Chains A and B, each alone.
Chain A
């Protein structure tokens, strides 16, 4: 389960924040993500920011494609 949608924190007062989702504004609780400062992207589920989104994390999994292709070739041989 668990629908989650990324949103950007645009204002915050204690644990109560407002997140922007493509122009929609939703009230979210940041009780579970105290480090969710204004400007950060969070993953929102059921009105809570559940985790900070780190878009900078290198998604090095690109390499898997290449490796898998090699594996496929290995099988064929």
Chain B
């Protein structure tokens, strides 16, 4: 393709559109469903419960240490399906592109989506591209919708959460939030932190391996671990007590957060899962998680309790308990 930048005509549905689909999207994402180029994909699914999830991805910068918007767009929806207890199978992908966006960058984003989808065992079966005038969007936005199938008859839901259940986080928190923050203008520091962006499809085998044990899962993206725990506590109307010293946080993240006055408990993650599980097999589940690279840092961090329904308490390293609230407003660097 000679054009180096995306033109409005690329979204017009004409020859240039076809060209873009052939040269960029089909080239990387090719599979029989997509290659048909029909208005939609017709899929055959097992006669089981089906999970559907959708998410839109808007991120600056588009490329960051540990990932890019394409990888994120696949992992985000895959992880949401996993959190429903589903095995992710198919994705749709819709792109809103700002006129003038470099096609080389679009290629790398789509290639990254393809590679991530391959590793996660999902196929991109249908898609859409729109181009908007320069200034009407910030470079590129991606929406993905995913379909997954539930292998287990146990539905994951906060209402299944019981006192005594254990709270697991699948690894150290805050790295994604920090890696992104370090790229922002106005914050001149460099960090070795790398986004944890990863597809967690492999952990859905746990629902089979430990039938009925896993009650609820949620990925702590925006708002971080603290916000997700509050959501589960509120929806289940159970209390939670989390042990501060059990929460895995790397020294790099801790140091940068100290400097910026931010709290790792509220920093975004893109490759972590909070898992609420029955007490009996919690240890074994953690052992299984630690066998996988993407969840090697799994830890039990707390317990569900019958007291203070809807509220999360953090037991501090000093042994005091304090309320751990959900994120309020924007989580920005502070000086005091």
Contact = CB atoms under 8 A, between A and B. Distances in A.
A2 B335 contact: yes
Contact of A26 (B192, B252, B259, B335): B259
A45 interface: yes
Interface string B88-123: 000000000000000000000000000000000000
B335 A24 contact: no
Contact of B189 (A2, A3, A26, A46): A26
Interface string A24-40: 11110000000000000
Nearest to B188: A27
A50 to B, nearest CB: 12
Instruction: Classify chain B's interface size.
Output: 10 to 19
A3 B191 CA distance: 19
Interface in A17-61: 21-27, 44-47
Contacts of B189: 24-27
A23 B252 contact: yes
A73 B258 CA distance: 39
Contacts of B256: 21-22, 24
Interface string A1-25: 1110101000000000000011111
Interface of B: 182, 188-193, 251-252, 254-256, 258-259, 261, 334-336
Interface of A: 1-3, 5, 7, 21-27, 44-47
